[in-house]
Structure 1
Amino acid sequence: MDLEIRHLRVVCTIADAGSLTRAATALHMTQPGISAQLRRIEAMLGGCLFHRRQEGTVPTPFGELVLGRARAILPSIDELLTDTARATRRMSATALIRVGSVGAPLLGHLLLAVKALLPEAEVTSRCRYSPLDLLEDLAADRLEVAVLGDHPGQELPQPEGVALHTIATEPVFALLPATHPLAARDEVSLPDLLEDDWAVPRPAADRTRAYWSSVSALTGRMPCAPHEAEGRQLIEIVRAGLAVSLCQATFIEVPGVVVRPLAGNPLWYRHMLAWRDDGPLAAHGTDVLHRVVNGYLSACTASPAYARWQEQNVGAARARRYP
């Protein structure tokens, strides 16, 4: 019998666990089974690897030699297996494209772009609240592409091997109950908005709540936020007239709530796309950006409040355009 990679893993697991019983549990083996495996490995290598004692196993000098070499070899083997698995996925006739997204108007357009450019691909998607979690998934090869977002002063880092592309930078708007007195105005000042109770997202790695608070503090006021909610729940709290909040400029009004620009545009949000440099979408980057930017521009048109704001603030918001 020849020495195999799995044998080196067994030896390292025994050394790390400090006993055959604990190593057997870690490897999902029985204690007699791992004992027999160790004897065969020792016979192949020609020496005793561990002293078997009542308190556990201790490497012999010969075992230390083998462990040193095994621990030097196994990380390279693991890297090889990871790289070949990634290459195999890229060469597969039916690629798997895993898409991630924060809450933004870009996900649907990105999914349509992927399906149009890679019609044979299997496409999956999942949403996360934090863009940092999505970046981590991209860097760890758990996603191929993601919709991200950040705020001024809170710019996202760029992990090695991940390309980041800005789609648009837009103002943050006020979200009000339709019956609120401020809803009759064309725009709302942040100090006036701070007179009301707020509904805010939970503190999280994307730091949206911290950004809102830091900008509000410049007015000498901080949001009084008795309600912590996101998504549909936040909208329902506002619709019920219990609080005001903020939203993306592309938010489409639903019955019971209205969207209004903030006077002076004190808050901003940046929409971004990110993908792996070595992933299946890297070769289609320009086409993906073109399609998603066009989708974003259509979302701007579908939001009456944002469309009016753009007419009055030509050039203030910045969306990437491609020929």
Structure 2
Amino acid sequence: MDLEIRHLRVVSAIAEAGSLTRAAAALGLPQPGLSAQLRRIESLLGGVLFDRDRSGVTPTPLGELVLSRAYTILPGVDRLLADTERITRGDAPLAHVRVGSVGAPLLGHLLLAIRALLPGREVTSRGHYAPGPLLDDLCAGRLEATVLGDHPGQELTVRDGVLLHPFVMEPVFALLPADHPLAALEEVSLARLAEEDWAAPHPDSDRTRDYWWSAPALDGHPPRIPYEAEGRQLIEIVRAGLAVSLCQATFTEVPGVAVRPLAGNPLWYRHVLAWHRDGQLARHRAAILRHIRDGYLNACADSPTYARWRQRHPHAARPLS
């Protein structure tokens, strides 16, 4: 067996995901199948690429070498495929519009905007927990647009041929069990929150946890994290009263959890929209942004905690034009 581009994609996906389970989900493969692929690749290359333990995977020195080469090779291959696809497609109308999104409140509004502006097109979406793979897919022509997110000091890197449109910077809020004593407060001190057990995402390529721990109240004193989870699993852990966490300001409270602002607004999250500079969605940019702006403001109004925060901070967290 010869080394192929798909093998480099598998190795890169595992490194970006930080675990075989996450990588298998991102690639749409069963985990045993991905494990078998990795063993064949390691056999081909003559050594182990990842050290594996209960917390995930870490590249070995050989793995670091292979990844460094993969990160050099794959972007060039992706650009070649995207350029040839655009040339062969020409100006033919898109029959299938593919969009992606991190966990954010903008995806539904983006889908509705595209359906309204391009009636009759098939519109599909897929999600990913980190923005990097979605941006890679956008650059490679596997997506037409995507919803991304980043934090101050961790801004997304601009890629050739891609338009990044920062949409709004909003505060990060506390996520608490509904019966937690801190839920009775109008706002929560991050230092006080750090004394609790936390549920938090696995440290991965989007560096969310790195950003959280950079806040002055946590810098050098990160809280205890007995529960690594995200999405629905994280919410259920908080709802059970086992931990606290952080969330986007537009998070909709569900029974059993409470959302509260952080005192002093020490942490922020930026929503970013991205599409091809020369793609067919770019010509609808202004209309798409208007559609999403209206939807975002409705989401703000539907979140009572965030709506009260916005009344107290009228000049903050305004969608950018």
User: Which category describes the TM-score, using the shorter chain as reference length?
Assistant: 0.7 to 0.9
Q: Which structure 2 residues correspond to residues 257-268 of structure 1 after superposition, within 5 A? A: 257-268=257-268
CA 1:182–1:278 in structure 2 vs 1: closer, same or farther (change >3 Å)?
Answer: same
Give the corresponding residue for 1:55. Answer: none
Q: Which amino acid aligns with 1:158?
A: V
Give the corresponding residue for 2:310. Answer: 310
Q: Which structure 2 residues correspond to residues 51-70 of structure 1 after superposition, within 5 A? A: none
1:298 matched to 2:308? The reply is no
SS in 1 for 2:109: helix
Q: Which structure 2 residues correspond to residues 207-222 of structure 1 after superposition, within 5 A? A: 207-215=207-215, 218=218, 221-222=221-222
Q: CA deviation at 1:95?
A: 2.3
Give the corresponding residue for 2:168. Answer: 168
Q: Which amino acid aligns with 2:245?
A: S
Inter-partner Cα distance in structure 1 for 2:220 and 2:82? 53
CA 1:220–1:118 in structure 2 vs 1: closer, same or farther (change >3 Å)?
Answer: same
Q: CA deviation at 1:82?
A: 5.5
SS in 1 for 2:214: helix
Q: Which amino acid aligns with 2:204?
A: A
Inter-partner Cα distance in structure 1 for 2:80 and 2:213? 47
Inter-partner Cα distance in structure 2 for 1:240 and 1:79? 46
TM-score, reference length from structure 1: 0.72
Give the corresponding residue for 2:124. Answer: 124
Give the corresponding residue for 1:115. Answer: 115
Gaps of 5+ in 2: 4-77
Q: Which amino acid aligns with 1:92?
A: A
Q: How many pairs were matched up?
A: 246
Inter-partner Cα distance in structure 1 for 2:248 and 2:188? 15
Inter-partner Cα distance in structure 2 for 1:79 and 1:183? 49
* Alpha carbons 2:95, 2:122 under 8 Å: kept: yes
SS in 1 for 2:129: coil
SS in 1 for 2:225: strand
* Alpha carbons 1:90, 1:280 under 8 Å: kept: no
Q: Which structure 2 residues correspond to residues 1-323 of structure 1 after superposition, within 5 A? A: 83=83, 85-89=85-89, 91-215=91-215, 218=218, 221-321=221-321
**1:180-203 C-alpha deviation (Å, 9 max, x unpaired):** 000000000001101100000011
Q: Which amino acid aligns with 1:282?
A: A
SS in 2 for 1:113: helix
Identity %: 65
Q: Which amino acid aligns with 1:148?
A: L
Q: CA deviation at 1:293?
A: 1.2
- In our comparison, the structure showing a higher alpha carbon Rg is 1
SS in 2 for 1:301: helix
**1:246-267 C-alpha deviation (Å, 9 max, x unpaired):** 0000000000000000000000
**1:185-224 C-alpha deviation (Å, 9 max, x unpaired):** 0000001101100000011111111111121555663111
Q: CA deviation at 1:81?
A: 7.8
* Alpha carbons 1:252, 1:303 under 8 Å: kept: yes
SS in 1 for 2:198: strand
Inter-partner Cα distance in structure 1 for 2:217 and 2:182? 21
**1:89-140 C-alpha deviation (Å, 9 max, x unpaired):** 4633552211000000000000000000011222111001111111111111
**1:135-176 C-alpha deviation (Å, 9 max, x unpaired):** 111111111100000000000011000001111100000000
SS in 2 for 1:247: strand
CA 1:82–1:302 in structure 2 vs 1: closer, same or farther (change >3 Å)?
Answer: closer
